[in-house]
Amino acid sequence: MNKGLMNLHSLVYEDRNNIANLSNTKLFANIVKGYADSNAFNYLLGMTNIGISDIRSLNFFNETGLADKINAQRSMEEVEEDSSIIALPKPKNLKGSLSQALKSRQSTREFSSYRMNLDELSTLLTYSVGISNRYSKDAEGNRSYRRYHGSGGGIYPISVYCVVNAIEGLRNGIYLYRPYTHALKKITYTGSLEELYQNAPIDTQNANMSLLFSYELNRNYLKYGELGMLLAFLETGMMAQNIHLVTKSVGYSSCDVAGFDKKYAEKSIGLDGVNSHIIYSIMVGKEQ
């Protein structure tokens, strides 16, 4: 192994006139020196900065138990009688042990043409991003149910959309998973994995579906301010790990895919791209 290649991150270039080249080596060095700007680097530098307004919001949420009150009413967002709502069957118990799921987990980019059934989809969604039986009560006795993943302040600003490609009983398209009623809401029948992942090295032809993670800033910004974005990214990671492990338990495989067409996804779903953003995706399919 070339020792120089292993230490590229430590190289410092003093030439400010040519910060762009075929790799990110010079660019990174100039960002660290302060000669070039980086949104990611700036965010990391101020990641945990909290202003007076943030402290007031945090205290207000904590003292009033507002997050629990909001969560207790979240199920009302899903009260809707519409032909676009598809109730999912009761989830099955997971097979195998946690250690088996951890040992067998790996990213899979090629899939078979096997079609997932609704029981498997129901089980996958429930134990990875669904509602558990645990809950807390407020002073009025309203129940605030927990989920199978953590969330900063118990606010849960991340929603999951299923881009269906090969699932029995479901027409191909995009569906919003509604955890409180354990149902899918049809968004559109025009979503396409090929369009979503035009340049990604992933098998869009045979995958069962893609899961898109939507972040709504207003849900946790009101409490955490700028810190809310970091917490949303951490929550997405916890949800993703759940999905990978549960997917193996139901006999399928998965792969994180960051190279998706964000604008296409948001336009297809109907998100504004201002308050609501698609920030991540996972492909799910049957391993060959």
pLDDT of residue 179: 96
pLDDT of residue 2: 47
In a domain, 29, yes or no: no
pLDDT of residue 18: 54
pLDDT of residue 263: 96
Phi, psi of 235 (to 5 degrees): -65, -40
CA gyration radius for the chain?
21
pLDDT of residue 55: 80
pLDDT of residue 207: 97
Domain count along the chain: 1
pLDDT digit string, tens, across residues 67-110: 878 777 777 887 877 778 999 999 999 988 989 999 989 999 99
In a domain, 88, yes or no: yes
CATH number (domain holding residue 194): 3.40.109.10
In a domain, 14, yes or no: no
Q: From the first residue on, what is the mean pLDDT of each consecutive set of 10 residues in the chain (288 residues)?
A: 50 55 68 78 76 80 81 78 89 91 92 96 98 83 87 94 97 96 95 91 95 96 90 97 96 95 96 96 95
In a domain, 145, yes or no: yes
pLDDT of residue 19: 55
d(CA 198, CA 257): 12
- In 3D space, the residue among 256, 282, 278 whose CA is nearest the CA of residue 266 turns out to be 278
d(CA 236, CA 245): 14
Distance (Å) of CA 280 to CA 71, 158, 159, 233? 24, 10, 11, 9
pLDDT of residue 34: 77
Spatial neighbors of 53 by CB under 8 A, at least 6 apart, are 225
In a domain, 92, yes or no: yes
In a domain, 178, yes or no: yes
- Retrieve residue 53's tokens: 């307004």
- In 3D space, the residue among 275, 272, 286 whose CA is nearest the CA of residue 203 turns out to be 286
d(CA 125, CA 131): 9
Instruction: State the pTM of this model.
Output: 0.85
Distance (Å) of CA 261 to CA 194, 234, 279, 280, 287? 10, 22, 11, 10, 24
Q: Which helix (H) or strand (E) holds 90?
A: none
In a domain, 151, yes or no: yes
pLDDT of residue 216: 96
Is the CB of residue 117 less than 8 Å from the CB of residue 167?
yes
Q: Residue 256 is part of which domain span? A: 51-285
In a domain, 25, yes or no: no
